[in-house]
Amino acid sequence: MSEGENFIEKSKLTLAKYICIFFSIAFFLLSIIEFQNSIKNFLIYFLCSVVNVIMYFGLVFKKNYQLVYLLLCIIGMLISFYTLNFYKDEIHFGDFLWISLIIVLAFWGLGKKMGWLFYTLGILNISVYFLFFAKSNISSIKEINNNTIYSLFFEVFFAYTAISIVLVRFVRNYELSLNKLKTINHELEEKTTILIKKNNENQALLKEVHHRVKNNLQIIISLLRLQKNNLQKNAENNYIDIAINRIMAMSLIHKKLYQSEDLSEVDLESYIRELIVEIQKSFNYDIEVKLNLNIDYCSMKLKTLVPLGLIINELVTNSYKHAFNNLDKGQINIQLKIINKIDFEMIYSDNGTWKEIPNNGFGINLIDTLCHQLDGNFIRKGSEYKFRLKNLDND
């Protein structure tokens, strides 16, 4: 139970105690006033006083305020119905106020549903009186003496006072709740300010981490290029270029991350285009290579993007190495299609004429390993690769 709910529960229990004390005193005084005026009124008021004393001690020991409110409303409505419709020679000013008080207590102590129930019962009670008993009641009212006036005065006074007690308590609770809400809102604002500050600090730190990782990878790339320049031109140079491209694929991810507002996701299409431009630079191709992208994902997170980027790097590198040698114009097609929340399909192809590459080559083995990292598989047909992969960040 929240602090606010606990406060309301205590308030309802406290008001129930006040009402029981007030009713026991008020009905006892009314029973004394009616002792010489009307024995039946005396018995009703005295019985009400005793019942409220019993309910008060029940509250002290059991603290079941809902039962007390329910008994108060039921007993009060039954007594009001009986006195209003069967006390033909009495003036019923007080009964209408007691019915109003019962409805207020029901709304306050039992909730809206029970409040509307007792409201309906009160309307029915009053309707029965005016339809069937009002005429005979008004015509048979006995002569009013001083005791009757005193009794009526005190009955109306106590009813008004009881209603006022409930309303004062309600207003008091409203004021306390409002002040409590203001305090909670102020505390939340302070905590939110602290969280925003910490979040900004964490974002700045994460940006710095991605920036440094990217710089470190760039240093490795630079070292590899220096080493390549010191070697004689041979097959080993090609291996160094391929290694540089693989490192560059990861470096580019960190570059995109620290440049983006969202430090957890990278614009996928922008990343692929920039990756292919960097690969093309490393091969010094003079021919135009057209890139066709059809991508369902707007962005992708790091866990999936790293292996996917390396797969694309291997495929594009293979295309530049083997596919475009005898062509005037090249073309690379990459399609990423979302299948469901987790799975997606990637189809890669180019317009080149491929020579067969051994299935046990390092590049193919690397693609296969990366595919398994993404819980997927692929099939190859000529220059077309079809992948079925999982978006690990949505798993």
Question: pLDDT per residue over 65-111, tens digit each?
Answer: 888 889 989 998 998 898 888 887 778 888 888 899 899 889 888 88
**Non-local CB neighbours of 177 within 8 Å, separated by 6+ positions:** 4, 7, 8
Domain count, the chain: 2
Residue 145 sits in the same domain as residue 281: no
How far, CA to CA in Å, does 319 sit from each of 217, 285, 293, 360? 24, 12, 16, 18
Is the pLDDT score of 360 beyond 70? no
Strands (E), the chain: 265-267, 288-295, 299-301, 329-338, 343-350, 377-381, 384-390
Q: Indicate whether 184 belongs to any domain.
A: no
Q: What percent of the chain has pLDDT over 90?
A: 16
Residue 244 sits in the same domain as residue 357: yes
Which of the residue ranges 9-18, 47-56, 226-235 has the most confident prediction, judged by mean pLDDT?
A: 47-56
Residue 160 sits in the same domain as residue 276: no
Q: How many residues does the chain have?
A: 395
How far, CA to CA in Å, does 57 sit from each of 14, 43, 53, 321? 13, 22, 7, 93
Residue 7 sits in the same domain as residue 156: yes
Range of the domain at 346: 231-394
Q: Provide the pLDDT for residue 336.
A: 93
**What is d(CA 213, CA 228) in angstroms, rounded to the nearest whole number?**
23
pLDDT (average), residues 217-222: 76
Residue 246 sits in the same domain as residue 353: yes
**pTM for the complete prediction?**
0.51
> Which among 154, 176, 198 is the end of a domain?
176
Q: Indicate whether 215 belongs to any domain.
A: no
> Which among 176, 197, 220 is the end of a domain?
176
pLDDT (average), residues 357-365: 68
**What is d(CA 23, CA 73) in angstroms, rounded to the nearest whole number?**
13
CA angle 338, 342, 347 (to 5 degrees): 40
Residue 130 sits in the same domain as residue 237: no
Name the phi and psi angles at 184, rounded to 5. -65, -45
